[in-house]
Amino acid sequence: MITTLLFDLDDTLLGNELSTFLPAYLGRLAQSFAGTAGGERLIDEMLAATQAMAANTNPERRLIDVFSDCFSQGTGWPPAEWQPRFDEFYAGRYRELRASTTHRPEARQVLEAVFAKGYEVAIATAPLFPLAALRERLRWAGVDDLPYALVTNVETSHFAKPLPEYYAEVLARLGRRPDQSLMIGDDWDNDIVPATALGMKTYWVTPDGVAAGGPRPGQTRGLDWVTPHPIGQGPLTGLLAALGGLTDEPPALYGPGLPYLLTGNLAALMGELDDWPSERWTKRPAADEWSLTEIVCHLRDVEIEVNQPRLRAVVEQDNPFLSGADTDPWAVERNYAAQNGPRALHEFAAARKTSARFLRTQPASIWTRTARHAIFGPTQLVEIVGWFLDHDLIHLEQVKKTKSVEV
C-alpha cells in the first residue's frame, strides 16, 4: 500500500528550466565573489565540485563534505573563507532568481489534496543545494509552508540523482519500503528510472500529457536494464486520478534493487550518527535499553557473523540450511558498552559495503536461489536480504529514539 509520496521540485512543482536558471545562478554567485583573489576560477571550481558530488558513491561521505574538499582544493580557499559568502548569497541575491522560474498554481492544489488524503510527503529534489536555497525555491512554488517529512539537501544527503542509492537513502530516512512509496517527477532518467530500479512505483509528469517516444528503458549509465511502467503520465494534476486507480497489492521485493537499499540504509545510519557528540554514545535511555554504541556494535556483528555467511551460503551452495541466530545476548557477552561506538560504526560501514558489493557482482538469477531457514522454513535470497533491510529499519528507528531522549 502506498503511504508516502516523493515529489521532485524543479519542473515538477516549480517551472525551472535549467538552461535559464543555471547561467543566472552562476552569474549572481560570481558577483558575490567579485574582487576576491582567485575569483576568476569560481565558476569552473563550482562546476567541478558539483560534478564530484554527483559522482559520489561513498555512503560515509555527505555531499557537503565532498563539495567542501573539492572546492577548497580547487580555489585554495578554506571553508571559513568561502562559507560565509555562500550563506550571504543564499540569504540575499539568490532570491533574485525567482524571476527565472515559473509559478505553477496546480502544485499547491495537488499537494494540499494528497496531504488531505493522509499521505506522507517528501521533497526528493536533486540535493546539490543547501536547505535554505531549497526552502526558497519551495517558497517561489508557493508550497514552502506544508509539513514535509523530508526535503533532501546537500548538508544531509550522501548521494545525488540519478543514483538509485539517492532514493534508497531517502526511503531509509523515512523508514519506508519501496512498495510503500511512489516517486513523482518530470525527468525520466533522474526521477523515474532510478526509483523504478528499487521497485518503487512512479508517476511521470510530462507537458500536456505527451512524452516524445513514450516510456523507454533507462538510459542512465548502469541502469539500461530498467524499463519503468509509471502508474500514469501527464500533467501534475493527473496524479490524483492515478492514485485513485491504485489497488492494494501484497508487497513484493525487487531483487536487483536490494543492494542499493542496503547501501541507502547505511547512508541513513551514517547521517544519524556522524558528528554525534562522543559523550552521548554510551548513554542509555533506560537501564534495560541499549546505548548508541551497543546498537551499532550489534549491527556490525550481525552483518559480519550472520548476514555475510548467509549470503555466501545461498549463493555458493544448493539449498543450504540456515540456522537461527540469537544475537541479543552478545551485547552483554561481548561487553558492547565498553567498546568504541564511532569505530564500530565505521567497521559496520566497511562490512555493509562488502555485502552490497558482493550482491552487485552476482548474476540476476541469484535472487531466486533457495535456502531452508531453521525458523522460517523454505525461503529465497530475495526474502533473506529483505530480512536484513527490515532489521536495519528497526534499529534506525531505535537510533532516532535513543538520540531524542534527554539523558
Instruction: Please tell me the predicted confidence (pLDDT) of residue 210.
Output: 60
Q: Are residues 177 and 55 in the same domain?
A: no
Instruction: Please tell me the predicted confidence (pLDDT) of residue 406.
Output: 63
Q: Is 302 among the domain residues?
A: yes
Q: Are residues 54 and 10 in the same domain?
A: no
Helix 292-302 × helix 258-273 angle, to 10°: 160
Instruction: Please tell me the predicted confidence (pLDDT) of residue 249.
Output: 79
Is the pLDDT score of 404 beyond 80?
A: yes
Asked if residue 181 lies in contact with residue 5, where contact means CB atoms within 8 angstroms, the answer is yes
Q: Are residues 361 and 260 in the same domain?
A: yes
Mean pLDDT of the region 304-311: 98
Is the pLDDT score of 371 beyond 80?
A: yes
Q: Are residues 112 and 232 in the same domain?
A: yes
Question: What's the residue count for the chain?
Answer: 407
Q: Are residues 148 and 34 in the same domain?
A: no
Mean pLDDT of the region 210-215: 54
Instruction: Please tell me the predicted confidence (pLDDT) of residue 214.
Output: 52
Mean pLDDT of the region 330-356: 97
The pLDDT tens digits for 83-111 are 999 999 999 999 999 999 999 999 999 99
* Average pLDDT along the chain: 93
Considering 37, 72, 99, which residue would you say is the last residue of a domain? 99
Phi, psi dihedral angles at 24 (to 5 degrees): -65, -40
Q: Are residues 354 and 290 in the same domain?
A: yes
The percent helix, strand, coil of the chain (3-state, each to 5) is 55, 10, 35
Task: Choose from 55-59, 81-85, 210-214 the range with maximum mean pLDDT.
Answer: 55-59
Mean pLDDT of the region 364-389: 96
Q: Are residues 168 and 235 in the same domain?
A: yes
Any bridge partners for residue 20, and if so which? Answer: none
- Reported confidence tier of residue 290, pLDDT bands at 50, 70, 90: very high
Nearest CA-CA partner of 398 in 289, 302, 297: 289
Q: Which helix (H) or strand (E) covers residue 295, if one does?
A: helix 292-302
Q: Are residues 71 and 120 in the same domain?
A: no
Q: Is 249 among the domain residues?
A: no
Is the pLDDT score of 209 beyond 60?
A: no
Which structural domain range is residue 131 located in? 4-15+102-244
Q: Is 160 among the domain residues?
A: yes
Q: Are residues 188 and 289 in the same domain?
A: no
Q: Are residues 130 and 110 in the same domain?
A: yes
Instruction: Please tell me the predicted confidence (pLDDT) of residue 213.
Output: 47
Mean pLDDT of the region 13-42: 88
Helix 381-404 × helix 258-273 angle, to 10°: 10
| Count: domains in the chain | 3
Q: Is 250 among the domain residues?
A: no
Q: In the chain, pLDDT over 70 holds for what percent of residues? A: 96
Dihedral sign, Cα of residue 116, residue 117, residue 122, residue 125 = negative
Q: Is 161 among the domain residues?
A: yes
Instruction: Please tell me the predicted confidence (pLDDT) of residue 37.
Output: 75
Which 8-state DSSP code applies to residue 188?
I
